[in-house]
Every structure is written in structure tokens, then in C-alpha cells.
Amino acid sequence: MDDASLLAAYDEQLRTDAEMRSLLDVERHGPLLWGTFAGGRGFVSYRSLGSPTDAELERLIVETVAHYEADPRTAEFEWKTRGHDGVPALDALLRKHRFVAGEVESVMVGEATSIATDIPVPEGVSLRRVTSREDVVAMVTMQASVFGDPETIEEHVDSILQRLTDPDAVGLELWVAEVEGRPVSAGRVDPVPDTDFAGIWGGATLPEWRGKGIYRALTAKRAQAALRAGKTLINSDSTEFSRPILERSGFRRVTTTTPYIWRR
């Protein structure tokens, strides 16, 4: 598949209800989908905004802020944008209404069969799938140390364990690379029902273990899991740290995504 075909598949299959499947209270408002995660954090997405006038676009933003502002559970929400949407006024209008732009990430898409090759790892490193609470706590603690987000460990562990027992989360797998029983790299693969896609998320490697092929090996293991789940395409929102690694694994950068965050 060429880049245009990969992007078209991404737009058609993932920028729909599939993107909102783990959220509560999902509501459609014009071209937008409004949703709320357990815990109250809001999330806004859409397949296309069309070609709105600046006034029409601002009205959508004002109505969205009012929707979440009226919900006492919501301390913040994300408006997820994509770089190829062709709505040049969106950035300035979101900022006007107190949204703060997050880090620009690359949307990476690849074909699972080309990614699922076995990658050698350094001596002493082992790869395995984890499911127990003890292993999930160790994995999430390592990830939090990389991402600098230790206060969310307990919440994240509970959320992952709940999803592992969810009958709708068929094919969800957690993978770690370990040295002497200690996780040094980790990530999950999450097949999306009724699509060709599985997403790979949460990729993190301790600084002293980077540049050794470990993350690429975990990516390959997750691609193999995606194929077992019947998925042919893999997607990931990637920082500039992981983008080159994913490119070497066979992914292509089809667009960018930027989160805009509104806080009460």
C-alpha cells in the first residue's frame, strides 16, 4: 500500500466511532464526536470538519467548551487535530478559547506482515507477554519513570487490568522486555474491532537500554499479536523519539496529530 492508501484507511476506519469505543457518554454534535473517559476527562474528535467558515468553526468550539464546562466531572478535555485536515483557522481559534497545544506527534501506519519479523535482542534480555497485576504494576511503574508521570500509576494499572478482563478487548496484549526480571521496555497492542487496524501504544524504554534494538523487537512481537487477531494494519501516534525506530520497522508517517487541551 502507498502512503495515500494508508492515510485513507486511517481516516475511514479509525476516525469514526472506533476512536470513541472506550469512552463513556459519546454524543455526536454536527461533525464532532464528544466523549468522556471514566474519571471525567473529555475527548473530541471527528473524521472531517468539511470546509467551515471561521464563524461556523468558532461556533463549534464555543458549543464544545460549553458542553464540557457544564459537566462537573470534567476538569479538562482534549480536541484532537490532524495535520492534513486543511482547516487553517483551527489553531488560532482553539487558542483564542483557552486551549493549549500539546506536542506534535507523527501518525505512523504500517502493514503488519512487514513489521512482524523477529528482531534479535541483546544477551540477557527476554521478551514476554504479561497479564498478572504484579507484572502490570512493574510495567506501568517503568513507563511512568520514562514519561515523568508517577502520580497516575495506580489509576493506570486499574484501567489496564479492567481492560484485560473486558470481553470487548479481544486481542489486547501487554509486552515487556526484561533484564533479570526487571522491565526495561514495554508497550501494548490493541486491536480495533470491525477494522483492519491494531494500535500499538505506551511504548517506553529506559534511557540506558535505548539504541539496542529492544523497542523494535517489542514492536515486532506486537505486530505478530496483531496478525493473530486478524489485523493487517498497525497504527501509532509517535513522538520524535520513537518515530525513527518505527520507520526502521516498516511504518510510514502519513500525517501528524496535535492535542489541544482545555482546562477548567
186 neighbors 217 (Cβ within 8 angstroms): no
pTM for the whole thing? Answer: 0.90
Nearest in space to 21 (alpha carbons), one of 6, 10, 37, 5: 37
Q: What is the mean pLDDT of the chain?
A: 94
DSSP string for residues in 66-77: HHHHT-TT-SEE
Amino acid at 144: A
Please give the average per-residue pLDDT across 213-228, as a whole number. 96
**How far is the C-alpha of 155 from the C-alpha of 143, rounded, in Å?**
13
Using an 8 Å Cβ cutoff, are 227 and 46 in contact?
no
**How far is CA 40 from its chain centroid?**
18
Give the CA diameter of the chain: 60
By the 8 A CB rule, do 196 and 231 touch?
Answer: yes
Same domain, residue pair 93 and 145: no
Residue 263 lies in a domain: no
Last residue of a domain, one of 89, 107, 125: 107
Domain with 9, as residue range(s), is 3-107
Residue 125, Ramachandran bin (φ over 0: left; ψ between -120 and 50: alpha; else beta): beta
Confidence (pLDDT) at 205: 95
What's the CATH number where 124 sits?
3.40.630.30
What single letter denotes the amino acid at residue 95? R
Query: Model confidence over 129-171: pLDDT tens digits?
Result: 999 999 999 999 999 999 887 767 888 898 899 888 888 778 8
Residues 71-117 have pLDDT tens digits of 999 999 999 999 999 999 999 999 999 999 999 999 999 999 999 99
Q: Measure the CA–CA gap between 183 and 126, rounded to whole angstroms.
A: 9
Q: Are residues 250 and 200 in the same domain?
A: yes
Terminal CA-CA length for the chain: 43
Task: Tell me: do 205 and 246 sit in the same domain.
Answer: yes
pLDDT tens digits, 105-115: 999 999 999 99
